[in-house]
């Protein structure tokens, strides 16, 4: 098992129970005393418990893949397959990231909003939605977004899809940030030096504490906006991870991220994420059995299978 240099916060919960926790819609529950617990508070508690459970131990502790060697192999293969793509992380405070799925902004709240707008849509549509939001309310004029009727925010971001849900999420997050910190700012999370520097774990807990922000969204902000080492698992990364056999077949996306964030070496998290997203978007071979020969990852898997069979034959011959 790959260990992470973090403090263990609570024992791991049962895997099947955790999957139910993640996938179930947050509904109001009742406490031991019989009083109602708001749905948002219940869902937040479940998110925090899940994060703390897998902060230092994988949800699949007996599943040893991927090994560090396997991660390096896939990173090398994808780097060679996509040689023109810039895999070097840029300093988010100096320039805008061009990575697929990037939040593309050094302002933490702007990054968070950009990542929310990128959910379940294309990068082109989310960019259009962000530009429209800026045009309607002014860039980073968060108070104007909060004070506006929800319908106006919906109208501004409709090009990104799921506008009604995303508008409510954005307004609620901004209200929560203002209530918690007294201002529309999360820039304290961006401090990189000195005693005020916040750990990756504390940043993750801060971000997922907001309703509508899950591990993947928080991880994207950590990775692209804050320059931290976090392995975000989007649709493409999830599909390719399953194909590579890096997680058990029963793993969902959230448990996959918890597992891979512990197994992928920190120095490869940025590059591997963007390469897997890029490959997932552009490779026709890994999406269809008819074009299987066009996928470098499927070629890699065939080679690995052949090598395993040869090793098994050799072992049998030695045994004879």
CATH of residue 288's domain is 1.10.1670.10
Q: Is residue 259 part of a domain?
A: yes
Residue 265 and residue 207 share a domain: no
User: What average pLDDT does range 267-280 have in this prediction?
Assistant: 95
Q: Is residue 311 part of a domain?
A: no
Residue 213 and residue 134 share a domain: yes
Query: In this predicted structure, what is the pLDDT of residue 102?
Result: 43
Q: How far apart are CA 229 and CA 88, in angstroms?
A: 13
Residue 180 and residue 140 share a domain: yes
Q: What is 232-244 written as a DSSP string? A: ---HHHHHHHHHH
Q: Is residue 320 part of a domain?
A: no
Residue 193 and residue 109 share a domain: yes
Domain with residue 184: its CATH number is 1.10.340.30
Domain final residue pick, 200, 224, 248:
224
Residue 240 and residue 220 share a domain: no
Q: Torsion-angle region of residue 222: left (phi > 0), alpha (psi -120 to 50) or beta?
A: alpha
Residue 146 and residue 135 share a domain: yes
Residue 124 and residue 84 share a domain: no
Over residues 185-212, the pLDDT tens digits come to: 999 999 888 878 899 999 999 999 999 9
User: What average pLDDT does range 143-164 have in this prediction?
Assistant: 97
Q: Is residue 11 part of a domain?
A: no
Domain final residue pick, 204, 224, 244:
224
Query: In this predicted structure, what is the pLDDT of residue 167?
Result: 98
The active-site residue, picked from 47, 205, 216, 298, is 216
Residue 301 and residue 210 share a domain: no
**3 Cβ contact partners less than 8 Å away, ≥ 6 residues apart:** 56, 262
Q: How far apart are CA 3 and CA 118, in angstroms?
A: 31
Residue 83 and residue 112 share a domain: no
Residue 208 and residue 181 share a domain: yes
CB contact at 8 A, 170 and 160 = no
Q: How far apart are CA 160 and CA 118, in angstroms?
A: 7
Q: Domain range spanning residue 243?
A: 41-89+227-306
The dihedral of CA 67, 73, 77, 80: what is its sign? positive
Query: In this predicted structure, what is the pLDDT of residue 35?
Result: 42
Over residues 95-134, the pLDDT tens digits come to: 333 444 444 458 999 999 999 999 999 999 999 999 999 9
Q: Is residue 23 part of a domain?
A: no
Domain final residue pick, 224, 249, 278:
224
Residue 252 and residue 103 share a domain: no
* Residue 74 in tokens: 């896939």
Over residues 40-74, the pLDDT tens digits come to: 667 888 889 989 999 899 999 999 999 999 999 99
Over residues 22-36, the pLDDT tens digits come to: 333 333 333 333 444
Q: What is the reported pTM? A: 0.79
216 is catalytic: yes
From the number of C-beta atoms within 10 Å of its C-beta (0-12, 13-18, 19+), residue 174 rates as: buried
Q: Is residue 68 part of a domain?
A: yes
The count of structural domains within the chain is 2
Q: Is residue 269 part of a domain?
A: yes
- Mean pLDDT value across the chain: 83
């Amino acid at each position: 098992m790959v260990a992470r240099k973090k403090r263990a916060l609570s024992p791991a919960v049962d895997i099947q129970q955790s999957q139910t926790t993640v996938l179930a819609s947050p509904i109001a529950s009742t406490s031991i005393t019989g009083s109602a617990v708001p749905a948002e508070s219940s869902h937040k508690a479940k998110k925090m418990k899940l994060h703390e459970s897998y902060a230092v131990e994988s949800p699949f502790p007996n599943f040893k893949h991927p090994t560090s060697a396997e991660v390096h192999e896939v990173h090398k293969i994808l780097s060679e397959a996509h040689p023109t793509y810039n895999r070097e992380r840029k300093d988010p405070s100096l320039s805008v990231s061009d990575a697929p799925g990037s939040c593309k902004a050094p302002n933490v709240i702007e990054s968070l909003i950009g990542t929310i707008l990128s959910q379940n849509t294309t990068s082109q549509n989310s960019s259009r939605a962000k530009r429209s939001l800026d045009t309607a309310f002014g860039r980073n004029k968060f108070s104007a977004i909060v004070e506006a009727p929800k319908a106006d925010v919906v109208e501004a971001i409709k090009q990104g899809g799921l506008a009604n849900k995303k508008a409510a999420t954005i307004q609620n997050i901004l209200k929560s940030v203002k209530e918690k910190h007294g201002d529309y700012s999360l820039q304290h999370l961006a401090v990189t030096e000195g005693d005020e520097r916040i750990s990756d774990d504390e940043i993750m807990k801060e971000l997922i504490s907001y309703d509508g922000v899950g591990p993947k969204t928080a991880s994207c902000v950590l990775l692209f906006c804050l320059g931290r080492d976090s392995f975000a698992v989007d649709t493409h990364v999830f599909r390719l991870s399953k194909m590579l056999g890096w997680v058990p077949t029963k793993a969902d996306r959230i448990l996959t991220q918890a597992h891979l964030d512990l197994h992928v070496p920190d120095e490869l998290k940025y590059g591997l994420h963007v390469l897997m997203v890029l490959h997932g978007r552009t490779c026709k071979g890994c999406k269809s059995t008819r074009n299987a020969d066009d996928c470098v990852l499927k070629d890699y898997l065939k080679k690995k299978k052949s090598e395993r069979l040869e090793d098994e034959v050799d072992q049998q011959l030695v045994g004879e």
